[in-house]
Amino acid sequence: MKVLVTGGAGFIGSHTCLSLLEKGYEVVVIDSFVNSHKKSLKRVIDILKLNKNINNVNIEIMELDIRNENALDKLFFEYQSNGNSIDAVIHLAGLKSVKDSLLNPLTYWDVNVNGSINLLKVMNRYKCRTIVFSSSATIYGISSNESLKENAEIKPINPYGRNKVAIEDLLNDTFFSDKNEWKIANLRYFNPIGAHPSGIIGEDPMDVPNNVFPYITRVAAGILDKLTIFGNDWPTLDGTAIRDYIHVMDLAEGHIAALNKLIECDHQIMNINLGTGIATSVLELVETFERVNSIKVPFEFADRRLGDSCKVIADNSLALSFLAWSPKRDLEEMCVDGWKWQLLNPTGYK
């Protein structure tokens, strides 16, 4: 089975490609490398060769912008002409910074939404109608519920979140235009952190990180002075905000579970939360990181960050029952693996 992974060189993409290859899928990656390095996929190949003694890793990598419909068409055409069609797509390519999306909404709509429209047009043309899409918990409105079910209110508050909703709508409309053809999984990720336990691949933000975990690893490494914790007056036990952190390898394996489910099932569309369902405050995250890695993470408190929620936790019961998937790595492993990646790669892939 040949799977096209868009954005496959990125943080989640590289870990997902590794999982796919480990399970014996043939992988084709397209990426513009606007937020990733070609080295990430070379490292994926290294891991496979190290662990499995495999000489021939079945991956092809191409520099391609998903906004370029002609190039996408050519790619699908060439595989089809060689009798080696693309069977399914895992669609991760896109821009992901909430802050940047507020500054550059047109670019975000163009890359994320127009890029997805192009991809779907070409998939439809070549009758490749199985897609796993990387959606986000960011689409849910602020909620007072303990955890978020897939039918919780959809109310994004920034362009990035609205892009994700638009793409889910697009996929929904596409599905209902021809119910007998499409198989679609919208995976709504919560907060992916950590790295592959080898420390060979991991998250490598191009700039000063916006997200808390890569910020923590850089503070621990002495690259950044201290962590600023946004708000210690939230209505939580220690006053800091609560999130559902999930190990990136568990997330990667969630894609394989979703893909397998789509392959075996009839045509359908599914919206599925990928999280652990476990609540962790920012202070708990920092304390766990310090304890398991025996290292200090200096921090200071500041005002709440604009647009932040107090608590974002997945109700992951649908993923557990329907995908027969469950997260296997705990917060300690996320902290150990993420720190190993930082230690072994102080300048990321550079």
Residues forming contacts to ligand WQD in the complex (CB under 6 A) are 96, 98, 136, 138, 191, 210-212, 215, 227-230, 241, 243, 282, 305, 308, 312
| Shorter beta-carbon distance to ligand NAD: residue 35 or 232 | 35
When CB distances are held under 5 to 8 angstroms depending on the partner's kind, the choice from ligand WQD, ligand NAD, none that residue 88 binds is: none
Instruction: Convert 189-201 to b/e letters by CB count within 10 Å (16 or more is b).
Output: bbbbbbbbebbbb
- Token pair listed for 211: 């997200």
79 carries an active-site annotation: no
What span, in angstroms and rounded, lies between the C-alpha atoms of 115 and 306? 28
Smallest distance from the beta carbon of 65 to ligand NAD, in angstroms?
Answer: 4
What span, in angstroms and rounded, lies between the C-alpha atoms of 272 and 315? 10
What span, in angstroms and rounded, lies between the C-alpha atoms of 130 and 277? 28
Stretch that binds ligand NAD, among 9-17, 19-27, 221-229, 259-267 (CB under 6 A): 9-17
* Strand, coil or helix: 196: coil
When CB distances are held under 5 to 8 angstroms depending on the partner's kind, the choice from ligand NAD, ligand WQD, none that residue 282 binds is: ligand WQD
With CB under 6 A as the contact rule, the residue among 159, 161, 192, 327 that binds ligand NAD is: 192
C-alpha 55: how far from its chain's center?
A: 28
Smallest distance from the beta carbon of 271 to ligand WQD, in angstroms?
Answer: 15
Amino acid at 277: G
With CB under 6 A as the contact rule, the residue among 1, 2, 33, 73 that binds ligand NAD is: 33
28 sits near ligand NAD (criterion: CB under 6 A): no
Here's the x/- map for ligand NAD, 231-270, by CB under 6 A: it reads as ----------------------------------------
| Shorter beta-carbon distance to ligand NAD: residue 189 or 289 | 189
| Shorter beta-carbon distance to ligand NAD: residue 31 or 168 | 31
Smallest distance from the beta carbon of 244 to ligand WQD, in angstroms?
Answer: 9
| Shorter beta-carbon distance to ligand NAD: residue 48 or 90 | 90
Strands 2-6 and 26-31: parallel
User: Which residues, in sequence order, are CB contacts of 44 under 8 Å at separation 6+?
Assistant: 14, 17, 18, 21, 57, 59, 201
When CB distances are held under 5 to 8 angstroms depending on the partner's kind, the choice from ligand WQD, ligand NAD, none that residue 246 binds is: none
What span, in angstroms and rounded, lies between the C-alpha atoms of 325 and 135? 18
When CB distances are held under 5 to 8 angstroms depending on the partner's kind, the choice from ligand NAD, ligand WQD, none that residue 147 binds is: none
| Shorter beta-carbon distance to ligand WQD: residue 128 or 314 | 314
User: Which residues, in sequence order, are CB contacts of 150 under 8 Å at separation 6+?
Assistant: 188, 271, 272, 273, 315, 318
What span, in angstroms and rounded, lies between the C-alpha atoms of 242 and 244? 7
When CB distances are held under 5 to 8 angstroms depending on the partner's kind, the choice from ligand WQD, ligand NAD, none that residue 65 binds is: ligand NAD
Query: What part of residues 41-70 is at the interface with ligand NAD (CB under 6 A)?
Result: 65-67
123 sits near ligand NAD (criterion: CB under 6 A): no
CB 91 within 8 Å of CB 135 = no
When CB distances are held under 5 to 8 angstroms depending on the partner's kind, the choice from ligand WQD, ligand NAD, none that residue 229 binds is: ligand WQD
Helices 331-344 and 282-293 cross at an angle (nearest 10°) of 60
Beta strands in the chain (DSSP E): 2-6, 26-31, 59-63, 88-91, 130-136, 183-189, 191-193, 227-230, 242-243, 245-247, 269-274, 280-281, 299-302, 311-312
Q: Which of 79, 108, 140, 160 is catalytic?
A: 160
With CB under 6 A as the contact rule, the residue among 3, 4, 5, 9 that binds ligand NAD is: 9
Binding site for ligand NAD (CB under 6 A): 7, 9-13, 31-36, 65-67, 92-96, 111, 115, 134, 136, 189, 192
List residues with catalytic annotation. 160
